[in-house]
Amino acid sequence: MPKSPTAPFQFTSDDVRIESQETVFEGFFRMGRLRLSHARFAGGYTETIQRELFLRGDATCVLPYDPARDEVVLLEQFRPGALWRDQSPWLLELVAGMDEPGESAEEVAHREGEEEAGLRFARLEPICRYLVSPGGTTEMVRLFCGLISSEGAGGLYGLEAENEDIRAHVLSLAEALAMLDDGRINNAAAIIALQWLSIHRERLREAWQ
């Protein structure tokens, strides 16, 4: 049966005509500039458009969860992107790191768990993967929930060579969800992972104990 003309995902990358691509800045981050046209829903192609793009690698994030204690570990650290907002620029976030060439997402998760929080994940449950802000950056995030024991967790972590200054906090899941509800936790990866855990909590507590 033929697809409806209004069905989603009928276009692919083959329906984009890239005329030019260049790097316009390269420092701690890299910015590129594209000139392109793309297929239109009503038929034909757009005129040539120019877009700047934040060329960032993929990342892996993990929500550490202890099902026996019903506790999570969240990391507090400074984020310059939160400056000039009506809030503290120190955010509560997940264990997270950029994927290195040749590394699997699971390898990144285990590496960052050790470096950022002194944690070892006994199991990793995939949550989802998502594009962070595809109108302006290439970054894709892979999310996991990680099985831990929160006994003795918490403290100060981070690699001095990377100027990391991290405090790991142990919170009850109820506390973390309350922070989500009142807006104190307001970064995308933590929001998605905590909402997912609130849905799957009972299943994980049965499966992981």
List the beta bridge partners of residue 146: 64, 124
Task: Indicate whether 4 pLDDT > 70.
Answer: no
57-94, pLDDT tens digit by residue? 899 999 999 999 999 999 999 999 999 999 999 999 99
Distance CA 46, CA 13 (A): 15
Distance CA 113, CA 95 (A): 6
Q: What is the predicted pLDDT for the residue at 209? A: 76
- 86, containing H or E segment: none
Tell me the pLDDT band of 155, cut-offs 50, 70 and 90: very high
168-184, pLDDT tens digit by residue? 999 999 999 999 999 99
Domains and CATH numbers, the chain: 13-55 (no CATH), 59-208 (3.90.79.10)
Task: Indicate whether 151 pLDDT > 70.
Answer: yes
162 classed as catalytic: yes
pTM (2 d.p.): 0.92
Average pLDDT over the chain, rounded to an integer: 94
Instruction: Spot the catalytic one: 22, 162, 202, 206.
Output: 162
103-124, pLDDT tens digit by residue? 999 999 999 999 999 999 999 9
